[in-house]
Amino acid sequence: MRFGRAVFPLVRTTTTAAPSPAVLTVGDALRERRRFTEADVASYAAVSGDRNPVHLEDGFAREVGGFERGRVVHGMLVASLFPSIIAARFPGAVYASQALKFAAPVYVEENVVAQVQALHIKTTTANSGTSRYVVKFATKCFADEEEGSLAIDGEAMVVLPTLELRDD
Domain ranges of the chain: 6-11+21-160
Residue 112 pLDDT exceeds 80: yes
| Homologous superfamily of 6-11+21-160 | Hotdog Thioesterase (3.10.129.10)
Segment 73-107, tens digit of pLDDT: 999 999 999 999 999 999 999 999 999 999 999 99
Count CB atoms within 10 A of the CB of residue 25. Answer: 11
Q: How confident is the model at residue 128 (pLDDT cuts 50, 70, 90)?
A: confident
- Residue 150 and residue 104 in contact, taking contact as beta carbons nearer than 8 Å: yes
Q: Cβ-count burial of 153 within 10 angstroms (0-12 exposed, 13-18 middle, 19+ buried)? A: middle
- Averaged pLDDT for residues 147-155: 89
Q: What is the pTM of this model?
A: 0.85
Segment 8-60, tens digit of pLDDT: 555 444 444 556 679 999 999 999 999 999 999 999 999 999 999 999 999 99
Cα gap 144→111, rounded to integer Å: 6
Strand arrangement, sheet containing 111-125: 6-8, 29-35, 111-125, 131-142, 150-160, 94-102
Q: 11 versus 63: which is more confidently predicted?
A: 63
Residue 65 pLDDT exceeds 80: yes
